Structures are given as structure tokens and as C-alpha cells.
Structure 1
Amino acid sequence: MQRIEWNNRAISTVHALFITAMSLYLVFWSDLYSDQQLNAFVTLQSSPLSTFALGVSVGYFLTDLGMIFWFYPALGGLEYVVHHLLSVASVAYAMLTGEGQLYTYMVLISETTTPGINLRWYLDTTGMKGSRTYLINGVVIFIAWLVARILLFMYLFYHLYLHYQQVKQMHIIGKFLAFGVPPILAVMNVMWFGKIFKGLKKTLAKSHILSREAASTCVLPTALPVMYSGAFM
């Protein structure tokens, strides 16, 4: 089972790297979803590249969801099922209709945290939980989660508010997904963030204790000769 999860996380890491790169490019660097585009709402903008990337994500989420069901609950519990079902619905709708792709990609940027989460599992599995790499990775996960899954979602809600009139022009299913899915995912992100914060505090505290013990161990040998020399004087 561990080998299956190892391979599963490797696939999810590859997908995360791909979709994160595509999402960041399309949302922040390209002008596809720019307000400067003429004769079109940002909620209705799409391109062959954006649609293709969403298709890749749909394929990944469906495959991963199938594996979760097949090995349930070894690869993830109910929260993972809910997350993947919402993701499949939103990404597939945006891919097939071209509506709301901007908000779909904003949410997909949250996949930025996946490589760190998977690396944490790999380090734990290989017995490196007490390593400095594990600690650094935990800090990176905390920061990435805060930015990509908390702050970015705040920006997404603000963007929805600013473009409310455009979102209203979407199909009723699109409006439901745009206004319904992000809040649910945001709540899940906050819940998981709380667990990450507690885990990081525990890891930092443990690291501090180990550092103090190591320092004490290093001081002891240098103190022993002094004690012995005093005894012989």
C-alpha cells in the first residue's frame, strides 16, 4: 500500500507543478483575463491553451478520485472525496463551457502547496522526520498555504465582488459554482491550515528541545577534563 501511495503522490506532484505554472501564467502574466479585453467579460474569456490545461486537471482529478474510492480510506478520507468532487465539477464546467475559467485557475493556484505536502510524507516515510529538511519544508508549507489558500482566496472573493455584474451573466450552474465552491474550499483550507499551524508549532518546539540537548551534549565533554584536572591538583 505504501508503494501505491508513493506513486500516487508522485503523480499528484507532477500535476501540481504543471497546473500551478499554467495557473500563474494565465492569471497573472497573460492578458487573457484582463479587464482591458474589449467586447468580452473576464468571466467568459477562454483560449485553446487554457481549455487544454483544464482538461489535464479534469483527467488527473478523475483518476485520483477513482484511486481514492478504490483504496478508501487509505489514500484519503471524506474530506478528500468532497474536495475532488468539487474540483471535478468546477474544472470540468469551466473546460466545457469556457465560463469562469479565471476563478477556476485562481483556485487551482492552491495546488502550489501539494509538492510540499507530498515531500513531507516522503520525508516522514523515509525516516527523516527529525531532519532539518523536514523542518524547513514545514515552514515552506505554512507560508505557501497562507498565501495560496488563504490570502489568494480573499483576493478571489474581492474579485468576485468587483465583477459581480459579469458573474451574473453566467449560466445558473456557473453562478452556483462561482459563488458556492470557493467558500466551501476556503472553509476546508482554514481547517487544514489550523492543523498545519499546530503541527509546525509542535515540530519547532521539538526541534528547539533537540537543539538544546545537542548543545548540552557538546558542552559536557569540554567540562569533564576541567573536573578531572581539578581532582588531580
Structure 2
Amino acid sequence: MGFAFPFGSLAGSVSSYDFATPTKEIQWLGSVFTGIIFCAIVYRLTAIFSSMLFTGYGKLSSAQKIEWNNRGFSTIHALFASFTSFYLLILSDIFNKDSQEELIVNRSSTFSNSVLGISIGYFLTDLAMILWHFPALGGLEYVLHHGLSMFSIIQSLLSGQAQIYILMVLFSESTTPFVNLRWHLDIAGLKGSKLYIWNGIALFFGWLIARIILFMFFFIHMWTHFDEVREIYPLGFYSLLVVPPVLAMMNVFWFWKIAKGLVKTISKAKHSK
């Protein structure tokens, strides 16, 4: 059965098997607004602390300062999402095979719902900034990535289904701090530093693990639990078959660019010695 929910027409397509209650709806909306407020606060704090701690910050252009601050809350969300996803997937017993009789695709908790809600708030804020300053903060590939991410997370939050797979994808945000640090070092004129090289190496292996190997495990897990995956409501089921492969192809494309950049950086470093 469907349910009414303030997220709009999407909710009418989501089968909830009485998952939603007024209390949960308030919690979900509260989590989304928490994510938005969190981004606004971190954006402002990034500007304040950067102006105090980095002399070069004041010399940046207005556009560069906006992106610098934007990457500040992007980094904090990435740390939040990766640590909470790791806890829910590995350390907690929510998705432990023998912890409960509920199908693994139907498992969720108040904490996992809050994590998804906060991430929706982040993606909404970041997407709004990307569109407002388009294409300065990212091109169409970022719009596609954020759009698909929000579409999937909202469905999972409203239905309480497939959260194990959403959290796997959220864990891949663990590579974002390395991406942002590379940008910060570049804009600060430290592209030739050892930190830039080591960060590039960390980004390469981090991306390989979190966005290539993890996605391979993702698809293997889906295949081995396909009898449970088929129990997901229709829109969620077909989204699970379409969205992750699209994200995986984007990850492979970006990994190829990261690998090329790393080889180029290391080659320059060797020639400069």
C-alpha cells in the first residue's frame, strides 16, 4: 500500500507496508533539515577558520572562496557518511545475517533513517549550489550524480527497504576528502608538494577500494540475495537495477582520470629531481 508524505509524488509510488508513521515522517523531515542546516553552518565556519588560519584564503577570488567553503561541508559530510555507514554495515548487527528474521533488504533503524535524511539534506544543499553557480562547482556529471543519489536515498528512506545497498554507496563518499584536499592544495599553489603526491596515491587506492572493489561486492551481494531483492517494491527494484550500474560506470570513468593524473604527477616529480 502507498502512503501520503510531504516529499511529493514520489511517495505515492513507494510501497511502505505501513512503514511510515507520523512520528517517523517528522523524524525524516527533521533529519533532512538538520543536513541542510549542518551544511550552512559548516560553510560559514569554513570561511571563518580559513581566513584565520590560511593567509592565502584572502587572496582567492570570490568564486574560489565559494568553492573552497563548499568543499568544506562536502568533506565533513563525507566523513560523517562513511563512518556511520561503516558502523551500520559492519559494527552494528542490523544487517547481520542471523541477527533477525526480517529480510535483509527490509531492515532499518532510527539511526539509519537519520543518516539517510541528513545525507538527503546535504545532497539538496550541494545540488542547489551547483545549479546556482553552474558550471563553476561542477558540470552535468555532478548534477546527474547528485540527482541519482537523492532519488535512491529518498526511496529507501520512505520505504525502509534496500538501506543496506544505499549505505554501501554512501560509504564510497570516503574518497571525497582526498578529492577535496587535492583541489585545496592545487588552489594553494602546492601542486608540486610531497603532500599532493601522497594524497594522489591515497586517492587512487581509496577510490579503487571504495568505488571499484566495493561496487563489485555490491553487485555480487545483490546477485546472491536476489530472491530478497525481488521483494522490494517495483520502483525501488528497478531503480536498484539501473542506478548503481550508472554510478559504477561514472566511478570507472573518474578512476581512469585519477590514474592518468597520478601517473602525470609522479612523472613530473621524477623529472624535477
- Partner of residue 60, structure 1: 122
- Partner of residue 178, structure 2: 116
Most deviating of 45-54 and 178-187: 178-187
Please list the CA deviations of residues 85-125 of structure 1 after superposition, one character each: whole Å capped at 9, or x if unmatched: 00001111111211100000001111010000000000000
Computing the radius of gyration from Cα coordinates, the structure with the larger value is: 1
Question: Do residues 142 (structure 1) and 200 (structure 2) align?
Answer: no
Offset, 1:58: 0.2
Secondary structure of the residue aligned to 1:127 is coil
- Partner of residue 138, structure 2: 76
- Partner of residue 83, structure 2: 21
Offset, 1:35: 1.4
- Partner of residue 238, structure 2: 176
Secondary structure of the residue aligned to 1:35 is coil
Structure 2 residues not aligned, in runs of 5+: 1-62
Question: Do residues 209 (structure 1) and 268 (structure 2) align?
Answer: no
Structure 2 CA distance for aligned equivalents of residues 154 and 183 of structure 1: 10
Offset, 1:50: 0.2
Question: Do residues 97 (structure 1) and 136 (structure 2) align?
Answer: no
Offset, 1:39: 2.4
Offset, 1:38: 2.9
Question: Which letter maps to 2:82?
Answer: T
Most deviating of 123-132 and 37-46: 37-46
* Aligned counterpart in structure 1 of residue 217 of structure 2, from 152, 155, 165: 155
Secondary structure of the residue aligned to 1:94 is helix
Most deviating of 89-98 and 6-15: 89-98
* Aligned counterpart in structure 2 of residue 5 of structure 1, from 50, 67, 84: 67
Please list the CA deviations of residues 165-200 of structure 1 after superposition, one character each: whole Å capped at 9, or x if unmatched: 001001011102211111000000000000000000
After TM superposition, the score normalised by the length of structure 1 is: 0.89
Offset, 1:59: 0.2
Structure 2 CA distance for aligned equivalents of residues 177 and 33 of structure 1: 21
- Partner of residue 34, structure 1: 96
Question: Which letter maps to 1:111?
Answer: E
Structure 2 CA distance for aligned equivalents of residues 176 and 13 of structure 1: 31
Question: Do residues 130 (structure 1) and 198 (structure 2) align?
Answer: no
Structure 2 CA distance for aligned equivalents of residues 142 and 73 of structure 1: 25
Structure 2 CA distance for aligned equivalents of residues 190 and 198 of structure 1: 12
Structure 1 CA distance for aligned equivalents of residues 247 and 99 of structure 2: 29
Structure 2 CA distance for aligned equivalents of residues 37 and 170 of structure 1: 20
Secondary structure of the residue aligned to 1:169 is coil
After TM superposition, the score normalised by the length of structure 2 is: 0.76
Deviation beyond 2 Å, 4+ runs, structure 1: none
Structure 1 CA distance for aligned equivalents of residues 157 and 99 of structure 2: 20
Structure 1 residues not aligned, in runs of 5+: 212-233
- Partner of residue 47, structure 1: 109
Most deviating of 22-31 and 158-167: 22-31
Question: Do residues 166 (structure 1) and 228 (structure 2) align?
Answer: yes
* Aligned counterpart in structure 2 of residue 187 of structure 1, from 249, 254, 257: 249
Structure 1 CA distance for aligned equivalents of residues 109 and 79 of structure 2: 21
Structure 2 CA distance for aligned equivalents of residues 95 and 210 of structure 1: 52
